[in-house]
Amino acid sequence: MSASARPLVLGIDFGTSNSACALIDAQGALQVIPLDGTRAEMPTALFFASETHSVLYGSEAMQAYLSGTEGRLLRSLKSLLGSRLMDEYTAVGDKSIRFFDIVVLFFKELKRRCEAHVGQPLTHAVLGRPVHFVDDDAERDALAQETLGKAALEAGFTHIAYQMEPIAAALDYEQRLQRETTALVVDIGGGTSDFTVIRLNPTRGTHSDRSADILATTGVHIGGTDFDRLLDLATVMPHLGYKHVGTGGRIVPSSVFFDLSTWHLIHQAYTRKALHFAKELWTDYTDQTLHRRLMNALEEQHGHRMLASVEAAKIACSISGADAAVDLDFLDRSLAAHIDAEGMEAALHTSIAQVVQCAQACVAAAGLQGVDAVYLTGGSSALRTLIAALRDAMPDATLVEGNRFGGVAAGLAWAGAVQAF
């Protein structure tokens, strides 16, 4: 195929929390596509509205849910890739739909919005993937990639390729370099933290095979949604009875709190069986106010709203370094919860340490004592406690904060520009 006839290739960063798309246009310029109004990043969320029987996507989905519109919100679908849940059905209004088909719907919407922006059909795509969809399970990891590709094909793409997300981020970073640099790319997404040590050189950007420049890759299944869960358990769930010492000195069973604090498991807390189990927990409580709050959260399906409030406070605290209130007025106006820098560090300490250890393991696997630069990308790379931990672990490297939400998609677009299909 001649260069002039080469199709546009869409780079798709299908993220746990947010998704983004980009392509290199016919003039060779990068276009990061505004998927959500004017914003490049689009929440990976769908809302099935009960009254209108319509499906909303992205921030519209989140706004509909948070405004109290009756329906079903689904988020963090990427976390289900590689699991048996992907082939299971879930209730949406008066019908059931496979989780896989919900992923296909989201891909179709991404494709539709991108095609509307560029004004032509898009058939070729490079899909981002984490270093490990699933830790220490090669079979499930392969299944996750296969499922991702099948969803893209069912959405209407005819040619697909894959690239690891941290390598894509590195290719985006390379566009701004003037000299050869050895970099550790740190991609902290919603569901995974991925690392690549790569040799970057602006003169090699047109090479389709960069395998010789990739010195090491590592990854761990810890990301922003895990941070949300840990902060939710530390700040909100105790007001519902988490770790409450009840009758007979026993701690209230914790499974319901873990479901309510995990984006892709919240729906499990609303099943008839789960509600019955939660109701029967009243005998384990000595403080019935806590149990009433728990039942209110379950019966009114406040799980996503609580977690969204925690996420918003996490972001506010990370940006300012100051205390941030967790809005729980919809649950109980008498409640006061907040996230501060000290509390965030305490709640996330173990997970942050695991992320940093994985980063250090990547540098060691590359056979290096250190790197020239640490390049940060992914929405959760903005956490102050994480940045401080990485700086302490690699004091001699230049810390570069990249495009948190569009960087991987941009790198996938650059990869697509030289990809042979």
Query: How confident is the prediction along the chain (421 residues), in pLDDT tens digits per residue?
Result: 444 568 999 999 999 889 999 999 999 999 999 999 999 999 999 999 988 889 999 999 999 988 889 999 998 899 899 988 899 998 887 889 999 999 999 999 999 999 999 999 999 999 999 888 887 788 999 999 999 999 999 999 999 999 988 888 888 898 889 899 999 999 898 888 989 899 998 887 666 677 788 899 998 999 999 999 999 999 999 999 999 998 888 999 999 999 999 988 898 899 999 999 999 999 999 999 999 999 999 999 999 999 999 999 999 998 888 999 999 999 999 998 999 999 999 999 999 999 999 999 999 999 999 999 999 998 888 898 999 999 999 999 999 988 888 889 999 999 999 887 7
What is the pLDDT, as a whole number, of residue 419?
Answer: 86
Residues ≥6 apart with Cβ < 8 Å to 283: 247
Q: Read off the tokens for 100.
A: 């896989």
Place of tokens 């990891």: 141
What is the pLDDT, as a whole number, of residue 4?
Answer: 52
Which structural domains are found in the chain, ordered by start?
3-179+404-418 (3.30.420.40), 225-345 (no CATH)
What is the pLDDT, as a whole number, of residue 312?
Answer: 92
Closest CA to 103 of 334, 329, 264: 264
Let me know: does 140 contact 133? Beta carbons within 8 Å.
yes
What is the pLDDT, as a whole number, of residue 270?
Answer: 92
Let me know: does 316 contact 324? Beta carbons within 8 Å.
yes
Q: What is the pTM of this model?
A: 0.81
Locate the DSSP E strands across 166-296: 181-188, 193-200, 214-220
Q: What is the CA radius of gyration of the chain?
A: 22
